[in-house]
Amino acid sequence: MTFVFDPPPCPSVAVAGEGVRFPVRRIFCVGRNYAKHALEMGSDPDRQPPFFFSKPADAVVDAGVGHDARIAYPPQTDNFHHEVELAVALGRGGADISTADALDHVFGYAVALDLTRRDLQKAAREKGHPWDFGKAFDRSAPIAPLHRAADMGHPAAGRIWLRVDDEVRQDADLGELIWPVPDVISILSRSMTLAPGDLILTGTPAGVGPLLPGHTVRGGIEGLEDLELQVTERGSPSA
């Protein structure tokens, strides 16, 4: 096959302790999956069916500790927010996956951020417009190395937290997920045929808030490698 220009490189995520990488196909995100976060966003905290949005695969940024990830303050926003989330990486695809079978499709887990231009997201929400410009911008999905489910099992509980400089902003437990991982996979697979390489960001707990240039962000989930990044000035080079 001859292309009119070189095809872009395949976006990928590090696998903890290994030289191999996980190729990313799509990134799905769950909208509201912790009751206290639904409340802080002015939404109904009761158990509504989950909803999804997506980010481009090349929004991923390697953000393991020691990787020195730098995210420039993004354009067209004055309210750039952190959301720490459990990322689920699928190693097997399928449609109409049952909750009982769902975890067999998981390759592994990682700590990720669903970075958000909150002002653009809220304006879109009020107008009934798509969320893409609030959610699906360049470098909006920093992620720490993946840990294989074969090694660590499937976390159903455990602390999830995020710190900005020395201030703990988000602090919750995976057990508070309104829709746990098997349900999320099963429900999503009724609308989309899932495939190996798909990542699912499972939603953020309460405590989302603004990031500013100069901030150091650290996030963690019990049993997984931490995520770390620096926020740099708008327009500064990526790393």
Distance in Å, CB of 31 to Mn ion, minimum: 7
x/- map, 105-144, Mn ion, by CB under 5 A = ---------x------------------------------
CB of 2 to Mn ion, least distance (A): 40
Q: What gap in Å lies between CA 54 and CA 71, rounded to an integer?
A: 20
Query: Could you say whether residue 208 binds Mn ion (CB under 5 A)?
Result: no
Count of residues that interact with Mn ion, criterion CB under 5 A: 3
Q: Are 186 and 157 in contact (CB under 8 A)?
A: no
Q: Nearest approach, Cβ of 237 to Mn ion (angstroms)?
A: 26
What are 164's strand-pairing partners?
167, 217
Q: Which is nearer to Mn ion, 83 or 228 (CB)?
A: 83
Q: Is 204 in the site for Mn ion (CB under 5 A)?
A: yes
Stretch that binds Mn ion, among 42-50, 185-193, 198-206, 209-217 (CB under 5 A): 198-206
Tell me: does residue 62 bind Mn ion (CB under 5 A).
no
Question: What residue is closest to Mn ion based on CB?
Answer: 114
Site string for Mn ion, 75-94 (x = CB under 5 A): --------x-----------
Closest contact distance (angstroms) between CB of 75 and Mn ion is 20
Q: Is 64 helix (H, G, I), strand (E, B) or coil?
A: strand
- Only one residue has tokens 């990526």, namely 238
Tell me how many degrees the CA angle 212-228-33 measures, rounded to the nearest 5. 80
Q: Which is nearer to Mn ion, 114 or 198 (CB)?
A: 114
- List the beta bridge partners of residue 104: none
CB of 148 to Mn ion, least distance (A): 24
Q: Report 144-183 residues binding Mn ion (CB under 5 A).
A: none
3-state secondary structure of 118: helix
Q: What CA–CA distance (Å, rounded) separates 11 from 132?
A: 19
Element (H, E) at 108: strand 106-113
Question: With b meaning 16 or more CB within 10 Å and e meaning fewer, what string describes 158-174?
Answer: eebbbbbeeeebbebbb
Residues that bind Mn ion (CB under 5 A): 83, 114, 204
